[in-house]
């Protein structure tokens, strides 16, 4: 009985985790870069990567930023992602345009560039 409960729990947890895991990496992105300017509504920073909610002209976008080490290497601190701050992001959007989901490659605050993925163009 305990084994059956454990298996059932593992299946349920795995089922809920699948949509989150699907967005790691680059496979879900379009391969083309866009530039988005908006105001940070919220930020959840940390591993496996940070996630911002950014209001761009009344549309709320979810933006994946780097892991803590990647943000630090790019010269960013958690304080940079303060709610209400203007941000410019260049990166790859989701192939599903209805998602309004963007993986950041480069971020500008006050005209200062922070390159999260220096080798990507």
Provide the residue ranges of all domains of the chain, joining segments of one domain with +. 34-115
Mean pLDDT of 42-71: 95
pLDDT at 13 over 60: no
41 vs 12: which has the higher pLDDT: 41
pLDDT digits (tens, 9 = 90+) for 81-106: 999 999 999 999 888 888 899 999 99
- Rounded to a whole number of angstroms, the distance between the first and last alpha carbons of the chain is 54
Q: Are strands 59-64 and 34-44 parallel, antiparallel or unpaired?
A: unpaired
pTM score: 0.76
How confident is the prediction for the chain on average, in pLDDT? 83
Tokens of 78: 């958690």
pLDDT at residue 69, as a whole number: 95
Q: What is the pLDDT of residues 14-32, one digit of tens each?
A: 444 444 444 556 575 667 8
- CATH of region 34-115, choose from 3.30.420.40, 3.30.360.10, 2.40.50.1010, 1.20.58.100: 2.40.50.1010
Residues 73, 56: Cα–Cα separation, whole Å: 26
E strand intervals along the chain = 34-44, 51-56, 59-64, 86-93, 101-109, 112-115
């Amino acid at each position: 009985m305990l084994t059956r409960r454990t298996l059932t729990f593992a299946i349920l947890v795995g089922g809920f985790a699948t949509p989150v895991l699907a967005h790691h990496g680059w496979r879900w992105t379009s391969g083309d870069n866009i530039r988005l300017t908006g105001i940070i509504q919220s930020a959840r920073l940390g591993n496996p990567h940070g996630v911002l909610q950014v209001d761009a002209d009344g549309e709320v976008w979810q933006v994946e930023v780097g892991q803590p080490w990647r943000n630090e290497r790019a010269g960013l601190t958690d304080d940079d992602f303060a709610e209400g701050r203007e941000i410019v992001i260049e990166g790859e959007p989701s192939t599903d345009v209805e998602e309004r989901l963007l993986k950041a490659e480069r971020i500008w605050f006050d005209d200062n560039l922070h390159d999260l993925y220096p080798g990507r163009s």
